[in-house]
Amino acid sequence: MNELVVNIDYDGTFADSPAMWSDVIRCLVSSGAKVICISNRVDNEENRILLRSHLPDAVELVICCGALPKANAATDHGLSVDVWIDDNPARIKNVAERVRRGFTSYRKYA
């Protein structure tokens, strides 16, 4: 069985309830999942250090992708995310374009 990859957003998600999300992350990791954080923050050292300092050590990878879709950042790092936890799913991939093209199953084409 492949390792489950879970992305948790930082702003508006983890940062809004860090104690709760830390518990969720520990549970996921103890169950064998790989937890990462892809954020739409600008990719600079200051943001990477800030996120890394606030996220639990169990988060294996922190990526700041700026305005680019998070799914593209994951692909660029060789990752296939199985579960996205995000307060703004439109930033994962251009959902409006996908609906216009007739896709009805977001996960199938992510």
In tens, the pLDDT along 18-32 reads 999 999 999 999 999
**pLDDT tens, 34-71?**
999 999 999 999 999 999 999 999 999 999 999 889 99
Note the pLDDT of residue 101: 55
Lookup: tokens for 86? 């995000």
Lateral strand order in the sheet of 34-39: 59-64, 34-39, 5-8, 83-85
**pTM (2 decimals)?**
0.83
Cα–Cα distance for residue pair 59/67, rounded to 1 Å? 22
